[in-house]
Structures are given as structure tokens and as C-alpha cells.
Amino acid sequence: RDPWGYGNEDGPDAWHKDYPIAQGNRQSPIDIIPEEAVHDASLSPIFLSYDYCNSINIYNNGHSVIVEFDDTDDRTVIRGGPLDNAYRLKQFHFHWGGKGNHGSEHTVRGKTYASELHLVHWNAAKYKTFGEAAAGPDGLAVIAIFLEKGDEHRGLHKITDAFYMVKFKGSVADFKGFNPKILLPNSLVYWTYPGSLTTPPLHESVTWIVLKEPITVSEKQMGRFRMLLISGEEEDDRTRMENNFRPPQPLKGRKVRASSN
Ligand SMILES: CC#CCNS(=O)(=O)c1cc(S(N)(=O)=O)ccc1C(=O)O
Ligand SMILES: [Zn+2]
């Protein structure tokens, strides 16, 4: 398969050539229109059991910067909300822009944010492996958190301070003991809808849980994201990793539900 990316030739508009599901009926991200979201009183709160959560490493895959977790048991799970089972945390990663306040994947009535954090969980109660879950209709649950430009976020410092170790595509570094609980906003009020991975292979396997309340990130911290490269250390070019976001996709009749305020 041709390598995909976010450039003019290999970007989101070209992905359908290698991944026809890109034009499917439950693609992500989407533009969320709060007034059109169905308020569903039966939606219970999201419950995150992140207390024994421990990160393993941080790596640069040329598309994003990813922090991976040990998902060999149910120590770090989310449950409740739209989910029927507990879903295990596997990794989190970010999408961001070049400058200004664009860079998020989901938008809210057209409003974009500087970045978006995705916490990826998989349904280990129903699927034997992550790969199988990633291809199943109820295999993944991703919590999306908007990062709005503003004051610096103290919890983000540990992550942005580690970026120098994973500047190049393919680099990985130890990153133990980080608990993403500190990246959560005060409120866990959310929107939820059935969608897909926002990067190839674009599997339609994700229950999206988008938190309404953003966290803040400073311009200086965003600058750290933009020092990451999509190029490998051995390559001549030094292309910055930025604007690694897919634009909103057609809703195709899907209902977005809102949890209680
Ligand atoms: C097979 C398969 C698969 C998907 N892997 S992922 O869920 O970690 C993931 C999820 C997403 S997102 N943006 O849909 O949460 C992006 C990138 C990745 C990734 O491969 O690193
Ligand atoms: Zn993502």
C-alpha cells in the first residue's frame, strides 16, 4: 500500500483510493451541532478506572506522537455511557494544526480547536486481540478531548518535555508512570456517536465519546508538538509534523447523543 499522510498528494482526499471505506456511512470525525444532539437521559456517566494506569513508552510513527499502555489486563478501563462492556486503554495520541486555533478533528458548530487528544480503548471482553477489536463494529471506544489555546497545562508538560526523545519518525523512548487522568477536564459531560478511525485503515469500529469541556494548552506547549518530524533520522528532509487532522465527514443520518449536563 502507498504510504498515506496529510500532504496534497497523500492526504485525506486521496485515502479512499487505498481505503474505500473512507466514503463509508459511519466515518469520523464529524462536525457536532449541539442543538441537534439528542439528549438521552438513559446515557449513564462515563466511568474511568485509571488509578492503576501506567504508561510504557512514547513513540513517533510519522503520523502522530503516541503513548502506549500495558493492556494485558483490566487495570485501566472505561465503562458506562454508551458502552456495554469495559474497554481497555491501549494508547493515546494527538492531532494538531500549524498555528492558530485549527488542528482538532471534531468541530463544534464549525469551531475548531488547536489540538485534539484521543484515548483509544478496546473491547477485550468481546475480542481476543486489539487488531480484531479494531475491525469489529463495537471494538473500540475513543475518548476525544479538545485542547484550546490558553494557559499552559501542567499535566501536558511531562509529555511535551519528552518530545525531544521522539523527534524522528520511528523513534521510541521509555515513558513510564504517566497517568492520563491528569489530562481530563473537570466535567465528563460528553457527546457520543458511532464512527470510525480517523486515519487509515479507517475501520468503522469506534464508539466516539467527545468531551464537551476542553482543556487548555499554551502556544509554547503547542510549539513543542510542532518540533516533531514526520521524517526519519536517516532521511535528508526535515518535515515538521503538523496539520495531522482529517476534516469532518458526512453524518449520513447518524444521531449524535448528548449525556446529561
Ligand atoms: C488495525 C488498526 C488500527 C488503529 N490503531 S489505533 O486505534 O491505535 C489508532 C487510532 C487512531 S484514531 N484517530 O482513530 O483514534 C489513529 C491512529 C491509530 C494508530 O493506528 O496508531
Ligand atoms: Zn486520533
The CA 41 to ligand 1 mean position distance, Å, reads: 30
First and final C-alpha spacing in the chain = 45
Cα angle, residue 257 at apex, residues 256 and 259 outer, rounded to 5° = 145
CB distance 95 to 245 below 8 Å: yes
Q: DSSP class of residue 150?
A: S
Q: Is 118 in the pocket of ligand 1 (CB under 6 A)?
A: yes
Q: Determine the residue of 65, 120, 122 to mutate for testing ligand 1's pocket, defined as the one with the most ligand atoms within 8 A of the Cβ atom.
A: 120
Q: Whose CA is nearest to atom 9 of ligand 1?
A: 197
Q: Whose CA is nearest to atom 10 of ligand 1?
A: 197
Mean of pLDDT values over 170-178: 97
CB distance 53 to 69 below 8 Å: yes
Would you call 237 exposed, middle or buried from its count of C-beta atoms within 10 A (0-12, 13-18, 19+)? Answer: exposed
* Per-residue pLDDT tens digits for 158-168: 999 999 999 99
Mean of pLDDT values over 239-251: 98
d(CA 121, CA 236): 36
Q: Is 199 in the pocket of ligand 1 (CB under 6 A)?
A: yes
Q: Determine the residue of 106, 143, 197 to mutate for testing ligand 1's pocket, defined as the one with the most ligand atoms within 8 A of the Cβ atom.
A: 197
* Per-residue pLDDT tens digits for 131-165: 999 999 999 999 999 999 999 999 999 999 999 99
Task: State yes or no: pLDDT of 99 exceeds 90.
Answer: no
CB distance 5 to 230 below 8 Å: yes
Neighbours of 71 (CB within 10 A): 20
Task: For residue 247, give the C-alpha cell.
Answer: 476534516
**ipTM for the whole complex:** 0.97
* Per-residue pLDDT tens digits for 42-96: 999 999 999 887 899 999 999 999 999 999 999 999 999 999 999 999 999 999 9
Q: Which of 63, 93, 106, 118 is flagged as catalytic?
A: 63
Predicted local distance difference test score (pLDDT) of residue 261? 66
How sure is the predictor about 1, in pLDDT bands with cuts at 50, 70 and 90?
A: low
Ligand (nearest to CA of 61): 1
Cα angle, residue 107 at apex, residues 104 and 111 outer, rounded to 5° = 100
Residue (of 79, 180, 93, 190) closest to 124 by Cα position? 79
Q: DSSP class of residue 229?
A: B
Percent of the chain past pLDDT 70, that is, above it, reads 99
203 tagged catalytic: no
Ligand (nearest to CA of 208): 1
